[in-house]
Amino acid sequence: MSNERKLNVPNVLSAYRILALPFIVWAIVAGDKQWYILLLSVNLITDILDGLIARAFKLETEFGARLDSLADIGTYLMAFAGMIVLENAFVTEYRYAFFTLMGMYALVQIIALIRFKRATSFHLYSSKIVGYAQGIFIFSYFVFGYAPWYFYLMLSISYLAYLEAIIIASVIPQLRSNVKGIYFMWKEHKRIC
């Protein structure tokens, strides 16, 4: 792991997402919805790009996975913070759905911190789908308005993905990156046994 190339395009994109977080905080505090959605959207797009580039050019590393996960956590927190501050009435109306969502996400990290003393960097396929679903929801909410059918679809996908992550964080013998999902863990376990 010490010979991993740390300076590559995917890691630079992840570092950008981390460096953009204070500017997203500024947009939230200033109440500037346009800057908030612009900066958050750039973070979401660079999140997609860093993963695609890492896989396409075989640049996946443990360091990159951790950096990406740190950027993901920051972007995720800013997405929720922006919704809470900038669209408080909406979040208040659907508070149980939002608190369940945030609670399940936090539970994954709490389990990992208790069991392994660090946050997860699983990179589950379901997490990627959730990232797209939530990103599309936030973008479309701020640009086009509330679409109830998509909100409930996004919630359902998110709950299922977080449940998978909770199960994996609870049963995986050691924390590692790029787990992909329960099915892939089971398949790997069968191959070894």
Query: Which pLDDT score, from 0 to 100, does residue 175 have?
Result: 86
Q: Are 59 and 53 in contact (CB under 8 A)?
A: yes
Q: Do 1 and 67 sit in the same domain of this protein?
A: yes
**Which of 64, 86, 108 represents a domain boundary (last residue)?**
86
Q: Do 71 and 93 sit in the same domain of this protein?
A: no
Q: Give the number of domains in the chain.
A: 2
Query: Which pLDDT score, from 0 to 100, does residue 1 have?
Result: 44
Q: Do 92 and 186 sit in the same domain of this protein?
A: yes
**Which of 31, 52, 86 represents a domain boundary (last residue)?**
86
Q: How far apart are CA 22 and CA 33, in angstroms?
A: 15
Q: Do 54 and 109 sit in the same domain of this protein?
A: no
Percent of the chain clearing pLDDT 90 (strictly above): 74
Residues 6+ apart with CB under 8 A from 172: 179, 185
Q: Do 79 and 101 sit in the same domain of this protein?
A: no
pLDDT-derived band at 2, boundaries 50, 70, 90: very low
| DSSP secondary structure string for all residues of 156-168 | HHHHHHHHHHHHH
* Whole-prediction pTM: 0.85
Tens of pLDDT along 3-15? 567 889 999 999 9
Q: Do 99 and 16 sit in the same domain of this protein?
A: no
Tens of pLDDT along 118-156? 888 888 999 989 989 999 999 999 999 999 999 999 999
Tens of pLDDT along 15-34? 999 999 999 999 999 999 99
Structure tokens at 91: 């979040």
Query: Which pLDDT score, from 0 to 100, does residue 191 have?
Result: 82
Q: How far apart are CA 65 and CA 174, in angstroms?
A: 16
Q: Do 173 and 82 sit in the same domain of this protein?
A: no
Q: What is the mean pLDDT of residues 150-177?
A: 95
Q: How far apart are CA 114 and CA 111, in angstroms?
A: 5
| DSSP secondary structure string for all residues of 90-153 | HHHHTHHHHHHHHHHHHHHHHHHHHHHSS------HHHHHHHHHHHHHHHHHHHH---HHHHHH
Tens of pLDDT along 55-105? 899 998 889 988 998 999 899 999 999 999 999 999 999 999 999 999 999
Interior angle at CA 93, CA 142 and CA 91, nearest 5: 45
Q: Do 117 and 143 sit in the same domain of this protein?
A: yes
Query: Which pLDDT score, from 0 to 100, does residue 187 have?
Result: 86
Give the burial class of 84: count Cβ atoms within 10 A of its Cβ; 0-12 exposed, 13-18 middle, 19 or more buried: middle
Tokens 């612009």 belong to 38
Query: Which pLDDT score, from 0 to 100, does residue 69 have?
Result: 86
Q: Do 185 and 100 sit in the same domain of this protein?
A: yes
**Which of 86, 117, 135 represents a domain boundary (last residue)?**
86
Tell me, what DSSP letter sits at residue 58? Answer: T
113: containing domain: 88-193
What is the crossing angle of helices 125-144 and 33-56, to 10°? 150
Q: Do 181 and 111 sit in the same domain of this protein?
A: yes
Q: Do 66 and 93 sit in the same domain of this protein?
A: no
Q: Do 97 and 149 sit in the same domain of this protein?
A: yes
